[in-house]
Structure 1
Amino acid sequence: MKVAVVFMEEFTHIKSIIGIILGLSLTHLIKGSVVFIQHPGRKKSYFVHSLWVFYVFLLIIHFWWWEFNLRLIQEWYFADYFFIICYILIFYLLCAILYPDDLNDYTGYEDYFYSRKNWFFAILALSFAADLIDTAIKGEQYFLYNQSEYYVRIISHILLCFVGIKVHNKTFHIGLVVLFTVYELSYILRLFNIE
C-alpha cells in the first residue's frame, strides 16, 4: 500500500537533500577549477574539458533553479524521493568524472578527457533520460510536459551524447561542447525570461 506524503515538511526535507548533493557537486567543480589558479603549472588544462566543466556548472545551476517546481507535487511517495536523489547523484558523477582525484596516469586534462569521454557522455545521456522521468513525476499540468522543444532538446542531446561516445575527432568535440553550451544558455534565457 502506498502512503501519500502531503506535508510541507517533507518538501523542505527533500529540498535540503537536493541542496546538499548539488552543493557538493558545485564544490567539486570549483575545487577542481581553482587548482589552475593555485598551481598554474602543475596540471595541464584543456579548453574542451574546461568548456564541459562550464556546461555542467550551467546544468547544475539550471537544475537547482528548476527543481523549485517540485513544490507542485502534491503527493510524495518514497519512489519519487528515491528517484530524485538518484537523479541528483548523476550530476555529482559528472563532476567527479570531470575532475578525478589525481591525473598521475595522464599527461593532462586533454589526455584524461578523451580516455574517459565514453563514461562522461554515457552519464550525461543518462541525466537527460532521467529528466524525462523527472518531468513526468511533476504531472501533466507541469509546464514542460506539453512543450515540444523540451522533448526535441532531450532526444537530440541523448543522440549527440551517443555520437560523442563513438566519434574521436577533436574538432567534432570542440563543436559539440560549443553547441551544447550555446544552446543551454539560449534555453535558460528563453525559459526564464518569458513574461
Structure 2
Amino acid sequence: MESLPLTDQLFPHIRIVMGMVIGLGITRILMGIAGLVQHPNRAKVSLIHILWAVSILIELVFYWWWQFALFAVHEWNFALFLFVVGYAVVLFLMAALLFPDSLAEYKGYEDFFLKRRKWFFALFGLTFVFDLIDSMVKGEAHFARFGYEYYVQTPICVALSLFAMWNGSPRFHLALVIVHLVYQASWILRLFYTFN
C-alpha cells in the first residue's frame, strides 16, 4: 500500500491542534451555560448574552465542520498553519469573552457584555475577514459555492461589527444577535446541510 505524500499527512496533524482550540471554546460555552443552570442567581442573566453564546457555539461547530475542506489543500506551510490555528484562537477568545472568570465588578451578564463589546465585536468582525481568506485558501470551487452573497455578506458584517463596537444600546444588540442567528440558520439550511 502506497503512503500519502508528506504534505497530505500534515492536515490530520494540523486538525488535532485546531480541534483542541475549538474544543476549548465549545467547553467554555457549555460550562458557562451549565453554570447559569447550576447557579441562576449568581449573576443577572441576559437574553443578549445567551443568544450570543448560542451563536458563537454554532460558529465553533461550523468552523470544525467546514475545515474538513482543508483536506483538499496539498501545499501546507507554517504561515498557513498559523492562519488556520489563529482563526480557531479568535473563535475561542470570543467564547472566553462571553463567560468571564468573575462578574464581581459588573451588574450581570448584559452589563459585562455591553462593557466588553469592543473586544467582542473586534474579534467578531475579524472572523469574517478570516473566513474570506480561509475560503480562498480552499480553492476557487469552494469559494464559488457561496456566490455573490459572500461578496455582500462580508463587508456588511464587518461594518455591523464596527458599528456594534460603538453602539451600546441593548435593543440594537438584541436585534443584531437575532438577525445573526436567523442568518446562521439560513446558511445551515442552504449550504451546510451536506458536505459536497
Judge same fold: TM > 0.5, yes or no.
yes
Query: Whole-Å Cα distance in 2 between the matches of residues 141 and 75 of structure 1?
Result: 17
Partner of 1:123: 123
Residue correspondence of structure 1 range 25-174 to structure 2 within 5 A? 25-144=25-144, 147-174=147-174
Task: Say if 2:103 and 2:112, in contact at 8 Å, map to a contact too.
Answer: yes
> Does structure 2 retain, via aligned residues, the 8 Å contact 1:45–1:108?
yes
* Offset from partner CA, 1:85-118 (integer Å, 9 cap, x none): 1111000110111111111111110110110011
Q: Tell me the distance in 2 between the aligned counterparts of 1:147 and 1:111.
A: 39
CA displacement at 1:78 relative to structure 2: 1.1
SS at 2:149 equivalent: helix
Q: Structure 1: state its 5+ residue gaps.
A: none
Give the length in aligned residue pairs: 191
1:16 matched residue in structure 2: 16
Q: Which residue of 2 aligns with 1:181?
A: 181
Shift of 1:17: 0.9
* 1:49–1:113 CA contact under 8 A, matched in 2: yes
In 2, are the aligned partners of 1:144 and 1:150 still within 8 Å (CA)? no
Partners of 1:188 and 1:107 lie apart in 2 by 35
- Distance in 2, matches of 1:28 and 1:148, equals 35
1:139 positional shift: 2.3
Report deviation, 1:74. Answer: 1.4
Contact preservation (8 Å) 1:97, 1:120? yes
8 Å contact kept, 1:164–1:173: yes
Task: Note the C-alpha offset of 1:141.
Answer: 3.1
Q: Which moved more, 1:34-43 or 1:64-73?
A: 34-43
- Please list every run of 5 or more consecutive structure 2 residues that lacks an aligned counterpart in the other structure: none
Contact 1:94 1:124 in 2 (8 A): yes
**Cα offset, 1:145, TM superposition:** 6.6
Alpha-carbon distance in 1 for matches of 2:118, 2:124: 10
Rounded to whole Å, the distance in 2 between the matches of 1:179 and 1:63 is 20
Q: What is the CA-CA distance between 1:76 and the residue it aligns to?
A: 0.8
Contact 2:136 2:143 in 1 (8 A): no
CA contact (8 A) 2:94 2:120 kept: yes
SS in 1 for 2:28: helix
CA shift, 1:143, in A, is 4.1
CA–CA separation in structure 1 for the residues paired with 2:49 and 2:69:
31
Deviation at 1:23, TM superposition (A): 0.4
Over 3 Å counting, the alpha-carbon distance change for 1:191 and 1:146 in structure 2 is closer
Distance in 2, matches of 1:6 and 1:160, equals: 42
TM score, norm. by length of structure 1: 0.92
Query: How many Å apart are 1:55 and its aligned residue?
Result: 0.6
